[in-house]
Chains A and B, each alone.
Chain A
Amino acid sequence: MNIWKAIVYLCAIGVLVVAILWLVDGMQIYTKTGSQVITIDELWGTKEVKWIPDFQLGLLPSAPSLSMEALSALPIAGILAVVGFIAFRISRRGSVPRP
Chain B
Amino acid sequence: MKAFRIMLACTAIVAFIGSSIAFATGFNIGASGTKKVTFSNRVGANQITFESSAPLEDIQGTANDISGSIMLDPSNIEATTGMITVKVKSMETGIKKRDSHLMGGDWLNEEQYPTITFAIKSLKNVKSISNDNGKSAVQAIAVGDFTMHGVTRQLEVPVTLTYIRESEKTKERAPGDLVMVQGDFSIALKDFKVEGSKGTVGSKVGETIKLKANFFGSTGL
Contacts and interface: CB of A to CB of B under 8 A. Distances in A.
Interface of A: 29-36, 41, 43-44, 46, 48-49, 51, 62-63, 65, 67, 69
Nearest to A49: B62
Contacts of A41: 44-45
Interface in B33-78: 44-45, 47, 49, 56-57, 60, 62
B97 A48 contact: no
B47 A31 contact: no
Contacts of A67: 96-97
Interface residues of B, number: 24
A-B pairs with lowest CB-CB distance, top 8: A63-B97, A48-B45, A34-B94, A62-B95, A69-B97, A32-B94, A49-B62, A46-B214
B173 interface: yes
B217 to A, nearest CB: 12
Nearest to B92: A51
A48 B47 CA distance: 7
Nearest to A48: B45
Contacts of A65: 97
Contacts of A46: 44-45, 180, 182, 214
Interface of B: 44-45, 47, 49, 56-57, 60, 62, 92, 94-98, 162, 164, 169-170, 173, 178, 180, 182, 214, 216
- Residue in A31, A35, A36, A65 whose Cβ sees the most chain B Cβ within 10 Å: A36
Given A46-B214, A48-B45, A36 B97 contact: no
A67 to B, nearest CB: 6
A32 B59 CA distance: 11
Contacts of B44: 41, 43-44, 46
Given A29-B57, A49-B47, A44 B162 contact: yes
Nearest to B49: A49
B103 to A, nearest CB: 14
- Residue in A33, A49, A51 whose Cβ sees the most chain B Cβ within 10 Å: A49
B218 to A, nearest CB: 12
A69 B170 CA distance: 43
A46 B162 CA distance: 12
Contacts of A44: 44, 162, 180, 214, 216
Contacts of B94: 32-36, 51
B173 A34 contact: no
9 contacts: A29-B56, A30-B57, A30-B95, A31-B95, A41-B45, A43-B178, A46-B45, A46-B182, A49-B47
A43 B173 contact: yes
Nearest to A41: B44
- Residue in B95, B96, B164 whose Cβ sees the most chain A Cβ within 10 Å: B95
A86 to B, nearest CB: 32
A43 B164 CA distance: 10
A55 B162 CA distance: 38
A32 B57 contact: no
Nearest to B60: A36
